[in-house]
Amino acid sequence: MTDGLYFLEEQDVGEDSIYYTINTAKSENSKLIKSWTSLSLSEFLQPKPSNPLDEKQLFKFIKINEKVSKVKQIMSNCIIVHAASGKVLDVPFASNKDDEKVVLWPKSRRLHQRWNLKKQEEGNKYEIRNAASDKYLAIASEARTGNSKVIQFRRTGLSNECWLLENVGNGLFIIRSSHEESLVLGLYNGCADSGNSVAVVNQDCFWRIDGYYQR
């Protein structure tokens, strides 16, 4: 759909849910919706397969929030992949202990390799929480120096648990520390061996964030 004015017309398809057709011309029973871009419209509408009784495309409105500007972006069950090695962020032995180191390990798709990223109200900051332990990705001891190890820890709300996602294109991200923006998520001593610790480093390191959906 192109930008412009659109009109909704309710359709009876014999279901409890209410579906609408979306038209550029007003009819007797249609309701005006304000000017939408194709992008914003797609965020609010869920298409329904063609009704066998009517070939028109039907849509159902899904309420996501009363104020769109306050919708928080959540990336659920992500696998965070080191781009160069193909290995992923892992909590060893699915530990749920505070101060447990986070390591690089071959992908197994188990829960302790999955992470939930939640965008904060301010800027492009994210908290990164392990799906198995419910602990947060953090810089150990609130360090501000390169090669400092990264651990999981219970949520404290401190800045060493906040990360900035920088999309550099081709599906790659730099994950920068909000605590010390000169540092990015990388590998201890630059080593990509399985079981090596993840650390914050002074040179760019690229990651993919795979297998997530946004809600």
Whole-angstrom distance between the N-terminal and C-terminal Cα of the chain?
Answer: 22
Neighbours of 72 (CB within 10 A): 10
Both tokens assigned to 104: 């690089």
**pLDDT at position 110, please?**
92
Residue with the larger pLDDT of the pair 101 and 59:
101
Q: Work out the average pLDDT over 180-208.
A: 97
Q: Indicate the domain borders of the chain.
A: 4-69, 72-214
Indicate the CATH number for domain 72-214: 2.80.10.50
pLDDT, tens only, 40-56? 444 444 444 444 445 45
Nearest 5 degrees, angle CA 203-CA 206-CA 210? 155
**pLDDT at position 69, please?**
36
Structure confidence at residue 1 as a pLDDT band (50, 70, 90): very low
pLDDT, tens only, 13-42? 555 555 666 666 666 665 555 444 443 444
